[in-house]
């Protein structure tokens, strides 16, 4: 299936099966804002729990926090967001579409890099076993020409981004003849800076009201509470503070479903370390976070690390964990070494000391910080992209038919178990109801008696329910039911009393957490 088709199907499936709806849809929606439906909210909560347990519950030296969205306006001056949280914006005069100038150049570089890989693949096919990839990359004239072009543009781009040279960004777009991806036009405006923070007013009377911002990241709530948490929870360095919650960014381009939203959720952890130890912890967290991701998907090979070309104003090293979405390799999580930038700036702006007294070395210092910052909504999209499959499945009559299935890990699945009476008579619904009454304390389960059993299986496949039990006439005789597995579609006969025990392990967070 073409990747654009897959992306379109994911969006349609999410809406039809109650995962994600456009916000305020009856008013034609609101750009890049989405609502989570009945199954979406379940999946989202479970992803959050998987993260929280892996970070907070499994680490004695990481504790949680839930800071407010509104913060004192000086927080954002200190953090640098008022002056530096900008994206370079460019408009196309013909199509009237707006783009991020940096994204246009990065996409161009991606394409050049893909061309080089294509040449290499051609070479591999031509030379067969004798193929020496390193030599080919170093000597093939077509590869060398593309590489030279790539390096030249890449260097110009990195330098322009570092200096925030907007004229040069535009010049690169012109020199590379980058066209509007929608209209093909090259009629570009100047590049302008655009601050991504939403501003609002706090206070009831407009004269007294002061301007404040909706937080663009959750991290600052952690920094300003650093000493409150350290002292009250008696934390010793190295230690972490974790938080999940809403963040807001007035994104310039927001055409990628829940990949880029204007209101979204982050799950962030700031790890405070002794100055000088940051690269050690940075490498540890990089690996741990990758393991966490690969642990919950069917396609672990779709992840890769990507080192930042252009560092944020607070970082001295940064890696992204990228996933191959249907829209290409994209960031889901950033691992950043933030130095002592934030705490030092908050000391300066607030006039309060934010230092830690190290009882071992008997010295006070401002700790360094390693951050892991992951988007909850992007992880949600990742799980959906990874899980969505269209396949053939045998119908009740034994013929092959199409099924769309979400192969979400059973621990994360919104509904764990569907209880289905084969027919709506002969006492079968009553038995099924009794089973529901027993298991609802343990799992999120669903009762369904409408339509043929085949159609009911298809509905459960579509929302990713890993197990279905069917109550049939044999149940009335020997108290057994069939247990159907979503992925293998195998059906086993099991006694009713064993349902809870058989499912408990498969849907326990423990099975996931033990493997990280
Ligand atoms: P991008 O380059 O894609 O704009 P970023 O580098 O600005 O992302 P960070 O500031 O590092 O992102 O934020 C950490 C994480 O928060 C990202 O890895 C992503 O998962 C999530 N995130 C950031 N912006 C958005 C958004 N607009 N919508 C959804 N998730 C987001």
In a domain? residue 33: no
> Which pLDDT belongs to residue 59?
98
Query: Does one domain contain both 206 and 143?
Result: no
Query: Does one domain contain both 163 and 310?
Result: no
- Whether residue 238 is preceded by a cis peptide bond, meaning omega within 30 degrees of 0, is yes
Nearest to 20 by CA among 12, 8, 30: 12
In a domain? residue 23: no
Query: Does one domain contain both 407 and 420?
Result: yes
Query: Does one domain contain both 409 and 347?
Result: no
CATH code, domain with 132:
3.30.40.230
Domain end call among 157, 172, 195: 195
Average pLDDT over residues 63-83: 96
In a domain? residue 19: no
In a domain? residue 29: no
- CB count within 10 Å of CB 25 equals 12
Percent share of the chain, pLDDT over 70: 99
Give residues with Cβ within 8 angstroms of 122, minimum separation 6: none
Query: Does one domain contain both 374 and 496?
Result: no
**Per-residue pLDDT band at 500 (split at 50, 70, 90):** very high
Look at the alpha carbons of 387, 498, 46, 43 in this order and tell me if their dihedral is positive or negative: positive
Helix (H, G, I), strand (E, B) or coil at 22: strand
Query: Does one domain contain both 361 and 437?
Result: no
Query: Does one domain contain both 292 and 187?
Result: no
**Per-residue pLDDT band at 162 (split at 50, 70, 90):** confident
pLDDT at 90 over 80: yes
Query: Does one domain contain both 80 and 90?
Result: no
Question: How far, in Å, from the CA of 2 to the mean position of ligand 1?
Answer: 26
Which numbered atom of ligand 1 lies nearest the CA of 318?
Answer: 11
Domain end call among 152, 180, 195: 195
CATH code, domain with 319:
3.30.930.10
Look at the alpha carbons of 71, 238, 353, 347 in this order and tell me if their dihedral is positive or negative: negative
pTM score of the predicted model: 0.90
Instruction: Check if 470 has its Cβ closer than 6 Å to any atom of ligand 1.
Output: no
In a domain? residue 28: no
Query: Does one domain contain both 310 and 324?
Result: yes
Residue identifier of the C-alpha nearest atom 6 of ligand 1: 334
Q: What average pLDDT is seen over the chain?
A: 94
Which numbered atom of ligand 1 lies nearest the CA of 333?
Answer: 18
Residue identifier of the C-alpha nearest atom 10 of ligand 1: 217
List, for residues 216-234, the tens digit of each pLDDT value: 999 999 999 999 999 999 9
pLDDT at 439 over 70: yes
Query: Does one domain contain both 76 and 211?
Result: yes
Higher-confidence residue of 308 and 408: namely 408
In a domain? residue 261: yes
| Token pair listed for 147 | 């590489």
**Per-residue pLDDT band at 208 (split at 50, 70, 90):** low
Domain end call among 330, 364, 391: 391
Query: Does one domain contain both 223 and 347?
Result: yes
Question: Residue 336: which domain range?
Answer: 40-84+196-391
pLDDT at 170 over 80: yes
pLDDT at 105 over 90: yes
Rounded Cα–Cα distance for residues 425 and 472 (Å): 10
In a domain? residue 17: no
444 CB burial (10 A radius; 0-12, 13-18, 19+): middle
Question: How far, in Å, from the CA of 137 to the mean position of ligand 1?
Answer: 34
pLDDT at 461 over 80: yes
Task: Tell me the chain's radius of gyration from C-alpha atoms.
Answer: 27
Rounded Cα–Cα distance for residues 405 and 378 (Å): 20
Average pLDDT over residues 275-280: 96
Query: Does one domain contain both 364 and 347?
Result: yes
Average pLDDT over residues 227-250: 97
Bridging pattern class, strands 445-447 and 417-421: parallel
Which numbered atom of ligand 1 lies nearest the CA of 268?
Answer: 14
User: Ligand 1, from 87, 101, 331: best to mutate by most atoms within 8 Å of Cβ?
Assistant: 331
**Per-residue pLDDT band at 312 (split at 50, 70, 90):** confident
Q: How many structural domains does the chain have?
A: 3
CATH code, domain with 480:
3.40.50.800
388 CB burial (10 A radius; 0-12, 13-18, 19+): buried
In a domain? residue 9: no
């Amino acid at each position: 299936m073409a990747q654009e088709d897959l992306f379109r199907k994911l969006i349609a499936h999410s809406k039809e099966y109650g995962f994600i709806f456009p916000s305020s849809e009856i008013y034609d929606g609101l750009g890049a804002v989405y609502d989570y439906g009945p199954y979406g909210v379940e999946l989202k909560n479970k992803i959050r729990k998987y993260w929280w347990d892996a970070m907070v519950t499994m680490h004695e030296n990481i504790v949680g926090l839930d800071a407010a969205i509104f913060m004192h306006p000086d927080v954002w001056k200190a953090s640098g967001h008022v002056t530096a949280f900008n994206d370079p914006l460019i408009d196309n005069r013909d199509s009237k579409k707006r783009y991020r100038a940096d994204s246009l150049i990065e996409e161009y570089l991606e394409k050049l890099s893909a061309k080089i890989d294509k040449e290499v693949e051609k070479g591999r096919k031509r030379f067969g076993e004798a193929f020496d990839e390193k030599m080919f990359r170093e000597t093939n004239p077509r590869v060398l020409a593309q590489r030279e072009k790539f390096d030249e543009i890449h260097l110009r781009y990195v330098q322009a981004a570092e200096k925030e040279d907007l004229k040069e960004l535009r010049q690169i777009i012109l020199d590379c003849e980058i066209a509007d991806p929608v209209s093909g036009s090259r009629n570009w405006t100047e590049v302008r800076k655009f601050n991504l923070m939403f501003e609002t007013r706090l206070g009831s009377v407009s004269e007294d009201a002061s301007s404040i911002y909706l937080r663009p990241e959750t991290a600052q709530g952690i920094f300003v509470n650093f000493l409150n948490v350290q002292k009250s929870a008696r934390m010793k360095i190295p230690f972490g503070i974790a938080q999940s919650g809403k963040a807001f960014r007035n994104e310039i381009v927001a055409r990628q479903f829940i990949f880029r939203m204007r209101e979204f959720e982050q799950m962030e952890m700031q790890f405070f370390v002794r100055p000088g130890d940051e690269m050690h912890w940075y490498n540890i967290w990089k690996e741990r976070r990758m393991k966490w991701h690969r642990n919950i998907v069917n396609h672990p090979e779709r992840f890769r690390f990507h080192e930042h070309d252009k560092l944020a104003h607070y970082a001295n090293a940064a890696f992204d964990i990228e996933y191959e979405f249907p829209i290409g390799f994209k960031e889901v999580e950033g691992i950043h070494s933030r130095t002592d930038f934030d705490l030092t700036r908050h000391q300066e702006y607030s006039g309060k000391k934010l230092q830690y007294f190290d009882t071992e070395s008997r010295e006070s210092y401002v700790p360094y910080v390693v951050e892991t910052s992951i988007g909850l909504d992007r992880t949600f999209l990742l799980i959906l992209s990874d899980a969505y499959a269209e396949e053939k499945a045998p119908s009740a009559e034994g013929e092959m038919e199409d099924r769309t299935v979400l192969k979400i890990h059973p621990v994360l699945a919104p509904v764990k178990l569907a209880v289905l009476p084969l027919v709506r008579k002969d006492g079968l619904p009553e038995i099924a109801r009794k089973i529901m009454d027993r298991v609802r304390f343990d799992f999120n389960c669903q009762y369904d008696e409408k339509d043929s059993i085949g159609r009911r299986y298809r509905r459960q496949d579509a929302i990713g329910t890993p197990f279905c039990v069917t109550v049939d006439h044999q149940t009335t005789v020997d108290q057994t039911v069939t247990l159907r597995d979503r992925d293998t579609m195998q059906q086993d006969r099991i006694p009713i009393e064993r349902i809870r025990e058989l499912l408990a392990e498969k849907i326990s967070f423990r099975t996931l957490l033990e493997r990280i």
